[in-house]
Amino acid sequence: MAEHNSALGLATAPIHVTRGMDIAKSAPVQPVTLIRPHAAQRAAQYFVRNFPGRSMYAVKANPSPELIQTLWEAGITHYDVASIGEVRMVARTIPQATMCFMHPVKAEEAIAEAYHTHGVRTFSLDTMEELDKILRATNNAKDLTLCVRLRVSSDLSRLSLASKFGAHPHESKQLLFAARQAADALGICFHVGSQAMSPEAYGNAMELVRQAIVEASVTVDVVDVGGGFPSSYPGMEPPALESYFETIYRAFESLPISYSAELWAEPGRALCAEYSSLIVRVEKRRGDELYINDGAYGALFDAAHIGWRFPVRLLRETPSDVRDMEFSFYGPTCDDLDHMAGPFELPGDVQAGDYIEIGMLGAYGSAMRTAFNGFGSDETVIVDDEPMASLYLSDEDRRIPSNVVTL
């Protein structure tokens, strides 16, 4: 039914079908990844049109070259890369792309290759040691954009990014001043954490940016608000993205910065979460536990290790009329850790041999896969239906069946 292709790089384009049910009817033995380029395109176009600055895709969320190409065609021209592997992959996929190396701790060899071979000119840092490393690796280049990362709170986000990186307030003055002396353009960046559930996460962080600028008395050319823009999941329905953009822009306009300063963002999850889902088969039922053929070492890493809940639906030609109940999942490996607590709501008569679609796996699902215990599948199919949740569909779009073409 579908060509077998790597989830991280499709050698040839998969076939098109309409929806997951079409795949389930073919009774695949292995999990099947469904991708929706139209959903990623819509998300990218939304950010390009509505974010009041430059949007650069955070490649770590899903490093599929096919996705990178889709985002490029939708208007995303800048890419947040975190390793030399990501630098090389984006350079191969989109040679014209602008890359920003936003990991605050980098190998000196990676900095040198990024700068001298791949034309990367933007680097982040959060210590004087990293600044010295960047300058050595680039031979004291005079065309650098250096972004000092500040430590900010992740209290309003579902996943914290507050403890590993970022200069403390007592460190930022010296670091900003030194970076200003070395940089062609000076930036300040931060990350509020993944899946920020309130726009105030950005408002609060921007106040720390203000304080850092005033304390250091430097001219800032770039303010990068990082990632954290949310998607919709069961129990995690965020406010409209417009409210995030409004909060950020209002705070940006009030900063003591140059009139020509640029506003940047690094959306990852928000651009790719709706891009893909996964079809799995139930191999066994034990009470309210379902044994499925993908799990913690596959696309469901987040469901297992941080308790992330993803939308699910039973794929049957004749829909079940049995009331939903809450299930947990076990993956296919021999490990007890291969367990997804959920709860995942499905009809109470689900049984071995049934197929389930698990949605909103475009962010981090494919990126975290392994082949542990010999399990896994690269079978990938393009589908035309809509994702199981969306922040980008209008009410009118939701009323139109996704397999109906309107004229």
What pLDDT is recorded for position 402? 45
**In the structure encoding, which two tokens stand for residue 315, read together?**
């794929």
Task: Mark which of 216, 241, 266 sits at the end of a domain.
Answer: 266
Q: What is the pLDDT of residues 388-404, one digit of tens each?
A: 999 998 755 654 444 43
What is the domain extent for residue 226?
A: 52-266
44 falls within a domain: no
Total-model pTM? 0.90
Give buried/exposed letters for 316-352 (b at 16+ CB in 10 A, else e). eeeeeeeeeeebebbbbbeeeebbbebbbbbbeebee
**In the structure encoding, which two tokens stand for residue 49, read together?**
């049109």
151 falls within a domain: yes
Instruction: Give me the mean pLDDT over the 379-395 stretch.
Output: 90
Question: Are both 198 and 231 inside the same structural domain?
Answer: yes
Backbone angles phi, psi at 270, to 5 degrees: -65, -25
Q: What is the pLDDT of residues 294-336, one digit of tens each?
A: 999 999 999 999 999 999 999 999 999 999 999 999 999 999 9
Instruction: Give me the mean pLDDT over the 145-163 stretch.
Output: 93
170 falls within a domain: yes
Question: Are both 231 and 278 inside the same structural domain?
Answer: no
Contact by Cβ (8 Å): 51, 262: no
Question: Going along 197-243, which residue ranges are E strands?
Answer: 222-224
Angstrom distance (rounded) from CA 291 to CA 300 = 13
**In the structure encoding, which two tokens stand for residue 256, read together?**
């003591």
The pLDDT of residue 105 is above 60: yes
The amino acid present at 373, given as its one-letter code, is N
The pLDDT of residue 17 is above 80: no
Q: Which residues pair with 383 in a beta bridge?
A: 17
Question: Are both 362 and 250 inside the same structural domain?
Answer: no
CATH label of the domain that carries residue 106: 3.20.20.10
Q: What is the dihedral of CA 60, 65, 67, 69, to 10 degrees?
A: 120
Question: Are both 228 and 279 inside the same structural domain?
Answer: no
Q: What is the pLDDT of residues 209-261, one digit of tens each?
A: 999 999 999 999 999 999 999 999 999 999 999 999 999 999 999 999 988 99
Contact by Cβ (8 Å): 265, 352: no
Question: Are both 258 and 278 inside the same structural domain?
Answer: no
What pLDDT is recorded for position 376? 82
Question: Are both 195 and 315 inside the same structural domain?
Answer: no
Question: Are both 391 and 358 inside the same structural domain?
Answer: yes
Based on the residue annotation, tell me whether 272 is a catalytic residue of this protein. Answer: no
Class of residue 189 by CB neighbours under 10 A (exposed 0-12, middle 13-18, buried 19+): buried
Q: What total of structural domains would you count in the chain?
A: 2
Q: What is the pLDDT of residues 159-214, one digit of tens each?
A: 888 889 999 989 999 999 999 999 999 999 999 999 999 999 999 999 999 999 99
Angstrom distance (rounded) from CA 125 to CA 105 = 7
Q: How many H helices and E strands in the chain?
A: 12, 19
Task: Mark which of 266, 290, 311 sits at the end of a domain.
Answer: 266
Q: Cα 205–207–213 angle (5° rounding)? A: 110
What pLDDT is recorded for position 247? 98
Task: Mark which of 221, 246, 266 sits at the end of a domain.
Answer: 266
8 falls within a domain: no
7 falls within a domain: no
100 falls within a domain: yes
Question: Are both 119 and 224 inside the same structural domain?
Answer: yes
179 falls within a domain: yes
- In the chain, the percentage of residues whose pLDDT exceeds 70 is 93
Instruction: Give me the mean pLDDT over the 14-18 stretch.
Output: 62
Angle between helices 241-253 and 37-50 (to 10 degrees): 30
378 falls within a domain: yes
CATH label of the domain that carries residue 318: 2.40.37.10
The pLDDT of residue 291 is above 50: yes
Cis peptide before 343 (omega within 30 of 0): yes
Question: Are both 279 and 349 inside the same structural domain?
Answer: yes
What pLDDT is recorded for position 396? 56
Question: Are both 204 and 293 inside the same structural domain?
Answer: no
Question: Are both 377 and 240 inside the same structural domain?
Answer: no
Question: Are both 24 and 59 inside the same structural domain?
Answer: no
Active-site annotation holder among 100, 147, 272, 334: 334
